[in-house]
Structure 1
Amino acid sequence: MQLLVVVTCLLAGCLAQRPHPCSSPRLLSGDLTVSTQNEKLWTGAKYLYDALGQRIRVMEIGAYENKSFTYDALLLYKERVMYEINQHDRTCKKMPLKGDFQPMAIPKNATLAGQIILGSSSGPGQGLLVNTWMGDLPEKAGKFMSTVTEFGCIPISTVYHTPKFGWMVTTFFNNVVGISDPGQLNPPAYCLNAGVKVEEEEPTDFLSLFLNKL
């Protein structure tokens, strides 16, 4: 009986703990969508995220101002280069990549907005416990609100506010811890001889990848 009381108290203590900022798994892949408040942009993409090698790849299709597009970008932060890959034509555009790698994480100075259950709490497996956080983007570039799972810190959604588009909503789904084909995080052979092209505005992180190409 005493053991039961102790276990019950420990479980109650764990459930009562306040959520803390967290970091997502260092290897992650899945799908995402991005849409904007002004309804000018919608895109769906497959993503690969490697925090160990500081590499990100996004392969997307979407529409901007009612015009469809495809886009395939590989960001290599350790090499400070980005490749825009055209698999159909087997061509690449290579550009400098400014800024430091930003891990998928809830910053330590973020504020907890709340903890909720997605789905239902009526039965086992019917709901997902998530935490929503709010804070400032790096260098005070705007505001963000991110929702991640309580266990594992898997991204669910992130909302950014930007002057150009207003609120941008990114929704993550089909997330998998790990990367089934790590070779997709290396530039194709036909990209290796691509010359470096300097753009007026170069992407610096995952968010600016969507903003600067439009």
Structure 2
Amino acid sequence: MKIFFCLALVVACSAQVPTPCESPKQWVGRRLRTDRYKQYFELAVHSYDEVNMRTASREEREVGKERDYFAKIHLYNEGLEYALNLRTMQCNVTKLSHPFRRVGVPPDARFLFEGDYGAAGIPSEHLTAATFGGKFEDGAEYLVTVAEPDCIPLDFDVRSNTTTEHYQERYYDLTLGISDPTVFIPPKQCMVIPVPP
């Protein structure tokens, strides 16, 4: 009887451990990105399209004491980044230095912990979130936190030992789907720039 009880308890406990979930593949929201080592702070309206492997953002950024404004488009299928400085209207077209990063929980992610944001147990004053970790194929490590039960991304941290890629992102006010697909079209100022070989 004791063995049966212990086995039932193990099964019940393991059933409660969150497993990797499927995050929305397309959304628009606000993003806060920081890199404390580079004294980098950025607020952006961010469009994320996992289906077509592309992102677009309108960014207000601070590096040290310098403040600037950019419209950036990352087209991972083309391997290109378009960065238009909205103050000077100058555009830079560069090759992307890292692969597309899925903002969500990869299937091989390892569950780390679960907790409540806000005041636990008070209706409408908290949300339950799960944090997962792992490594991407190129060796970069990640931590991702998603709201439960719908797997909505909240936090996304990436650190690479082989490149300078190290950032923390927080997401707010997400709306599912892409309401304006034209945000992924490079601005005309970028079309006169030669594409890097």
TM-score range, shorter chain: 0.7 to 0.9
Return the letter of the residue paired with 1:54: M
Equivalent-residue separation in structure 2 for 1:73 and 1:90 (angstroms): 12
Identity of aligned residues (%): 24
Return the letter of the residue paired with 2:74: L
Deviations 1:155-210 (A, max 9, x none): 11123345688974321111111222221111123433331146xxxxxxxxxxxx
SS in 2 for 1:85: strand
Aligned residue for 1:117? 116
Q: For structure 1, which segment, 72-81 or 32-41, has the greater mean C-alpha deviation from structure 2 after superposition?
A: 32-41
Deviations 1:130-155 (A, max 9, x none): 101122244223x3221111222111
SS in 1 for 2:138: helix
Equivalent-residue separation in structure 2 for 1:165 and 1:95 (angstroms): 16
Aligned residue for 1:81? 80
Aligned positions, number: 183
TM-score normalized with structure 1 length: 0.72
State the Cα distance separating 1:39 from its structure 2 match: 6.6
Aligned residue for 1:157? 155
Q: Which residues of structure 2 form unaligned runs of 5+? A: 1-11
Return the letter of the residue paired with 1:153: C
Aligned residue for 2:57? 58
Return the letter of the residue paired with 2:152: I
Deviations 1:6-34 (A, max 9, x none): xxxxxxx8xx5431112321111111112
Aligned residue for 1:132? 131
SS in 1 for 2:182: helix
**RMSD of the TM alignment (CA)?**
2.7
SS in 2 for 1:139: coil
- Structure 1 pair 50–69 and aligned structure 2 pair: CA distance change class (3 A): same
Deviation >6 Å, runs of 4+: 164-167
Aligned residue for 1:195? 194
